[in-house]
Amino acid sequence: MNNLEANKEIVKRFNKEVIEQCNLDSFNELIDTEFVNRTAPENANDKNGMWNTFHNILKPAFPDLKVEIYDQIAEGDKVTTRKSIFGTHQGSLMGIEPTGRQVKIDVIDIVRVKNGKYFEHWGINTLQTIINDLKNNK
pLDDT digits (tens, 9 = 90+) for 44-96: 899 999 999 999 999 999 999 999 999 999 999 999 999 999 999 999 999 99
Q: What is the overall mean pLDDT for the chain?
A: 96
What pLDDT is recorded for position 43?
A: 86
First and final CA of the chain: distance in angstroms? 48
What pLDDT is recorded for position 138?
A: 56
Q: How many angstroms separate the CA atoms of 35 and 46, rounded? A: 6
Q: How many angstroms separate the CA atoms of 44 and 136, rounded? A: 27
pLDDT at 128 over 90: yes
Provide the pLDDT confidence category of residue 137 given band limits of 50, 70 and 90: confident
Residues 3-136, CATH architecture:
Roll (3.10)
What pLDDT, in 10s, does the model give residues 87-97? Answer: 999 999 999 99
How large is the average pLDDT for residues 98-126? 97
Q: How many angstroms separate the CA atoms of 131 and 138, rounded? A: 11
pLDDT at 8 over 60: yes
Our CA angle for 63, 64, 69, nearest 5°, is: 120
Q: How many angstroms separate the CA atoms of 105 and 138, rounded? A: 17
Phi, psi (rounded to 5 degrees) for 63 = -60, -20
